[in-house]
Amino acid sequence: MDEVKVASPYRANQKPEVDLHESHSDDLETQVGGGSHDAKVYGETDVFAASGPGQVDFKGLTWPHAGVIIAKLQIGIGLLGIPGTFASLGFVPGLISLTILSIFTTYGGILSGHIRMLHPEIHSPTELGRILCGGNAIAAEVFGFFYWVLLVMVAGSGLLTTSIALNAVSLHAICTMGWVGVAAAVALIVGTSCRQLTKVAWIGWIGIASVVISIFTLVIAMLTETFPLTEFGQTGKVEVLAVNTDATFAEAMSAIVTQLFALLGNIAFFGVAAEMRRPQDFTRAVLAGQGFIIGMYFVIGIIVYAKAGQFLTSPALASAGELFKRICYGLAIPAVLITSIMYTHMAAKLIFVRALRGTRHLTAGSTVHWGTWIMSNISCLALSFILAASIPIFDSLLSLIGATVGALFAVMMVGFTALYLIAHEEEANAAMRGVKMDTPSEVSRSSWLKRSYTFTWSDPTSTWKRKGTFIWAIILIVCGLFLLGGGTYGSVEGIISAYDTGSITSAFSCDDNSVTSA
- Give tens-digit pLDDT for 310-369: 888 777 888 888 899 999 999 999 999 999 998 899 899 989 988 888 788 887 778 999
The answer to whether residue 328 is domain-embedded is: yes
pLDDT tens-digit series, residues 141-193: 888 888 898 889 889 888 988 999 999 999 989 998 999 999 999 999 998 98
The answer to whether residue 272 is domain-embedded is: yes
* Cis preceding-peptide flag for 315 (omega within 30 of 0): yes
Per-residue pLDDT, averaged over 443-464, amounts to 83
Averaged pLDDT score across all residues of the chain: 82
What per-residue confidence (pLDDT) applies to 105?
94
CA-CA distance, 477 to 461, in Å (whole number)?
Answer: 25
Total number of domains constituting the chain: 1
CA-CA distance, 39 to 55, in Å (whole number)?
Answer: 13
The answer to whether residue 335 is domain-embedded is: yes
The answer to whether residue 508 is domain-embedded is: no
CA-CA distance, 58 to 19, in Å (whole number)?
Answer: 30
Q: Are 83 and 394 in contact (CB under 8 A)?
A: no
Closest CA to 85 of 261, 295, 250, 252: 252
The answer to whether residue 102 is domain-embedded is: yes
pLDDT tens-digit series, residues 422-442: 998 888 887 777 666 665 444
Strands (DSSP E) along 154-268, which ranges?
none
- Helix, strand, coil percentages in the chain from 3-state DSSP, rounded to 5: 70, 0, 30
The answer to whether residue 26 is domain-embedded is: no
The answer to whether residue 99 is domain-embedded is: yes
The answer to whether residue 202 is domain-embedded is: yes
- Contacts for 349-355: CB closer than 8 Å, 24+ residues apart: 349/271, 349/376, 350/123, 350/124, 350/126, 350/144, 350/147, 350/148, 350/151, 350/271, 351/148, 351/376, 351/379, 351/380, 352/376, 353/47, 353/123, 353/124, 354/126, 354/144
What's the CATH code of the domain at 336? Answer: 1.20.1730.10
Degrees, nearest 5: CA angle 167-170-171: 70
What residues make up the domain containing 330? 56-403
